Amino acid sequence: MTDDVAIRVEAVSKKFDLHSDRRTNIKERFVRGRPKGSDEFWALKDVSFEVPRGSTYGLIGHNGSGKSTMLKLLASIHRPTSGAVMAAGRVSSMIELGAGFHPELSGRENVFLNGSILGMTRKQIDASLEEIIEFSGIPLQFIDAPVKVYSSGMYVRLGFAIAVNLDPEILLIDEIVAVGDEDFQRKCFDHLYKLRRKGVTICFVSHSLPLVQTLCDHALWLDHGQMRAEGKALTVVDEYLRAVNKTESDRLGHAEEIDDSHSRRGSREITISKLEFLDATGTPSPVGTTGEPLTVRMHYEVHQPVTEPVFGLAFHHESGTHVAGPNSREGSVMTGTPRGAGHVDFRMDRLLLQPGAFVVTAAVVDTTMAHVYDYRDQAFALHVQPGHGAAGAGVVDLPGTWTMKTVDQLDQGEAS
């Protein structure tokens, strides 16, 4: 392997034999018999990729797609059934909760155990010990207690502290880190950035697509053990999102209607028959994407002529928060005296709602906004998924810009 490649996976397949753990119950075996074919299961099929030294690689895909199995092959916990896996360098991993820990040994002793497994000398481990204990945040009264009394959070913190501080050349991390609390997660990610700057090769599994897009250079999308896409992280995540989005739309069709027959009110001269959410390409989809265009299309039917009706929408977050309530009068649209049927569009160039579940109210009222023709209270579901860039917290994405000035620049500004 050349020096600039840290990990090479060549046409790897992994088969598990299921019969040993599937039916332990003899009666069940007897009654149901052995299934036709065999109890073989291919967790990975013909997977190939390379991770350049010093780069960060992400593994994404649905549950059961083989991501953890792939990491276990890289960590030599499993052997491939066929193909070859090569990892050139000292591999440190954080794959299974508590794996690599001896339950009867104390936290401190486990640090030494793990260090020696990684091929480090006692002196080298000694040098990192304080840092590891501090990073883990494990209370001192616990650090000399056997790890079998640790909480799962403490296991994760100690495991991660060891994995990242014992000077790895290749670091493998499963989504297990997600078990820790938010503060600890932040600390982990800060540390990952630091290791990446130091030139450590990192390969990790995450369900956080924004994280994969920001942290990883390259990524692999696994689907039922097979490669669906491999290459630049931005592109692979995009393809993945598009596929997930499409499945959702196929499943749900147009905007999901919530039964509002009891709450629906109004005099019904004009009614709202349907609501659609149109994506950037104009395709109806119940899923919107933060930062991308979204058009809300209100289909109306006129039963008796009305003049200058006002069309309105309300967006509620699943937590109950009323987020926004735009209407066509604010938008200065003259609606005239509509006849028959048609639609009114509310177009957003950039959807500012953050990922989450929202419910939309659609209403049509008279010019004074005092009389209700049709009011469909929280009758349509809108799912918002993360788009490009980091997913922020909260309900909306505030479209601001940041700037910064140093004290020197401020002084210059005053002088001139």
Ligand X SMILES: Nc1ncnc2c1ncn2[C@@H]1O[C@H](COP(=O)(O)OP(=O)(O)O)[C@@H](O)[C@H]1O
- Residue 41's binding partner among Mg ion, ligand X, none (Cβ under 5 to 8 angstroms by kind) is ligand X
**Which token pair is 331?**
């938008």
CB of 95 to Mg ion, least distance (A): 9
- According to the binding rule CB under 5 A, does residue 68 interact with Mg ion? yes
CB of 165 to ligand X, least distance (A): 25
**Segment near ligand X (CB under 6 A); pick from 66-74, 115-123, 239-247, 387-395:** 66-74
DSSP conformation class of 34? P
Alpha helices (H) along 81-178: 107-117, 122-136, 140-143, 152-165
- According to the binding rule CB under 6 A, does residue 208 interact with ligand X? no
CB of 390 to Mg ion, least distance (A): 23
- According to the binding rule CB under 6 A, does residue 65 interact with ligand X? yes
Which residues, 68 to 127, sit near ligand X by CB under 6 A?
Answer: 68-69
Which CB, 58 or 286, lies closer to Mg ion? 58
- According to the binding rule CB under 5 A, does residue 245 interact with Mg ion? no
Task: Name the nearest CA neighbour of 395 among 293, 314, 322, 289.
Answer: 322
What is the rounded distance in angstroms from the CA atom of residue 365 to the CA atom of residue 266? 9
Which residue is it, tokens 């990491």? Answer: 71
Which residue is it, tokens 């601001």? Answer: 400
Of the candidates 64, 253, 389, 394, which one interacts with ligand X according to CB under 6 A?
64
Task: Name the nearest CA neighbour of 385 among 261, 196, 274, 246.
Answer: 246
- Residue 16's binding partner among ligand X, Mg ion, none (Cβ under 5 to 8 angstroms by kind) is ligand X
Q: Is 114 helix (H, G, I), strand (E, B) or coil?
A: helix
- Number of residues interacting with Mg ion: please give it, by CB under 5 A: 1
Residue 180 zone, left/alpha/beta (φ > 0; ψ -120 to 50; rest): beta
Site string for ligand X, 34-63 (x = CB under 6 A): -------x-x-----------------x-x
Q: Is 320 helix (H, G, I), strand (E, B) or coil?
A: coil
Contact positions vs ligand X (CB under 6 A): 16, 18, 41, 43, 61, 63-69
